[in-house]
């Protein structure tokens, strides 16, 4: 796909950020994360004449989302909210139509619809924290790519931003979404050398590819019929099916049954004591993990689903008090990340990761010319055995983006439980 970048500009907040908000100190959890960017892609079949509404509404909401218009100062662990602006890139596709990329199984064809800054992770003080690219197609369709630094935002935060931006751009919407940036007051930064380093090794790793599996309403109904739990969600049953196939793949590669651990990031906003607003903007997503489980050849989807559910519930209960006034949440973070790194250090364990993003309402992002016909999330640098789960447009199915080493993907797609959904 050939994409031509036509124009790049900086969109500044409509009104200056007050002096008392100029220095946004990030939280301890923010500081612990590896530098990278997160991106959400929104696909629209039509757009208004011109895109001034996008730029003007962005300037208006940056008043409330003021850290996104600033620049990160690594040495001071803060965002200088200097109103330098968010990056807005206008691009056009010359050789394809929107229908050529919507719903495709290969994520590689989408690499050029992101702003260039999405691929920069050096945290230079000149890098924008928010970058947006609007890629226009000859048919009139458009892809809006929203890229945000993971240093200050997680996926739920991006959800809040996109909801606020689309509401501000829509001529007939009056929904007011006000973000909160109070998490650093609960979890202030401190220096602590506790051995957590989430950076990748400098050694060259095998190429990782991403392919989409589609589990529609009929498929989920059929799969759930074999599970005893009544309240199980579509993403849970899909996780069980994919994990079972990954366990078989691991057995074939290593010639033996290895124990497995499942990691799953969980949004803690409304799970903390006291609960936080869903519009809190910061990193407040924690990676839960199961206890190591023996991967016998007889292990089934039901058992895997139970293991994942128990792991999430146990971890959430342990993390619930992280913002409580009688708890130093930073100690909870240190213990949680320490357990995570200890688990990862065991080279004889099969690690499986599920990021369940099916709860986020990206399909509601209507800028005034209709809702998206497709959405997808692409975190950078996902490891092999990592899956991102999204709901489909109809809301009754699950799309699973499975990331594997390139040489492993063909065997995975031929798995008897996976083949029906690899289309």
Residues annotated catalytic, as ranges:
150, 366
Token pair, residue 108, equals 């590689």
Of the candidates 308, 304, 305, 386, the one whose C-alpha atom is nearest the C-alpha of residue 344 is 386
The rounded distance, in Å, linking the Cα atoms of 220 and 10 is 44
Read off φ and ψ for residue 40, nearest 5 degrees: -120, 135
β-bridge partners, 135: 91, 143
Q: Are 241 and 226 in contact (CB under 8 A)?
A: no
Supply the DSSP string of 178-223, one letter for each residue: --B--HHHHSB----------PPPSS----EEEEEEEE-HHHHHHH
The H helix count followed by the E strand count for the chain is 9, 15
Q: Give the three-class secondary structure for 348.
A: coil
Q: Are 160 and 363 in contact (CB under 8 A)?
A: no
Nearest-5° angle of CA 215, CA 403, CA 376? 60
Q: How many of the other CB atoms lie within 10 Å of CB of 359?
A: 14
Angle CA(221)–CA(223)–CA(226) in degrees, nearest 5?
110
CA 248 to chain centre: 27
Q: Is the peptide bond before 274 cis (omega within 30 degrees of 0)?
A: yes
Retrieve residue 68's tokens. Answer: 């996104």
Q: Of 369, 370, 387, which Cα lies nearest the Cα of 378? A: 387
Q: Which of 316, 229, 202, 331 lies closest to 269 in space, CA to CA?
A: 316
Measured between alpha carbons, how far is 226 from 15 in angstroms, rounded to an integer? 57
Selection from 245, 13, 183, 210 nearest residue 108 by Cα? 210
């Amino acid at each position: 796909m050939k994409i031509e970048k036509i124009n790049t500009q900086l969109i500044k907040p409509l009104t200056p950020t007050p002096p008392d908000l100029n220095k946004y100190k990030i939280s301890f959890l923010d500081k612990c994360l590896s530098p990278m960017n997160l991106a959400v892609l929104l696909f629209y079949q039509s757009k208004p004449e011109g895109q001034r509404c996008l730029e003007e509404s962005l300037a208006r909401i940056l008043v409330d989302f003021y850290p996104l218009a600033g620049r990160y100062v690594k040495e001071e662990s803060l965002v200088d909210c200097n109103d330098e602006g968010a990056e807005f890139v206008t691009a056009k596709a010359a050789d394809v139509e929107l229908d050529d990329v919507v719903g495709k199984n290969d994520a590689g064809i989408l690499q050029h619809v992101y702003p260039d800054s999405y691929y920069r992770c050096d945290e230079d003080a000149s890098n924008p924290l928010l970058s947006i690219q609007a890629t226009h197609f000859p048919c009139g369709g458009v892809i809006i790519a929203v890229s945000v630094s993971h240093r200050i935002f997680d996926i739920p935060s991006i959800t809040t931003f996109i909801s606020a931006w689309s509401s501000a751009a829509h001529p007939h919407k009056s929904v007011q979404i006000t973000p909160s940036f109070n998490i650093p007051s609960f979890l202030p930064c401190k220096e602590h050398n506790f051995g957590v380093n989430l950076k990748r090794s400098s050694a060259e790793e095998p190429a990782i590819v991403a392919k989409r599996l589609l589990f529609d309403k009929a498929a989920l109904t059929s799969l759930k019929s074999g599970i005893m739990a009544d309240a199980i969600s579509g993403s849970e049953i899909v996780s069980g099916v994919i994990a079972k196939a990954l366990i078989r793949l691991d057995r074939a590669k290593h010639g033996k049954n290895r124990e497995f651990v499942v990691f799953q990031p969980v949004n803690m906003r409304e799970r903390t004591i006291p609960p936080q607003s869903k519009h809190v903007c910061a990193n407040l997503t924690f990676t839960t993990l199961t206890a190591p489980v023996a991967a016998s050849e007889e292990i089934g989807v039901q058992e895997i689903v139970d293991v994942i559910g128990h792991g999430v519930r146990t971890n959430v209960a342990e993390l619930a008090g992280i913002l409580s006034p009688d708890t130093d949440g930073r100690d909870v973070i240190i213990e949680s990340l320490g357990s995570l790194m200890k688990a990862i250090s065991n080279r004889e364990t099969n690690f499986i990761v599920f990021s369940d993003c099916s709860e986020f309402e990206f399909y509601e992002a209507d800028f005034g010319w209709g809702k998206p016909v497709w959405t997808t999330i692409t975190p950078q640098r996902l490891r092999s055995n990592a899956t991102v789960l999204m709901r489909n447009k109809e809301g009754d199915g699950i799309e699973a983006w499975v990331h594997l080493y390139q040489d492993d993907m063909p065997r995975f797609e031929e798995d008897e439980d996976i083949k029906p959904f690899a289309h």
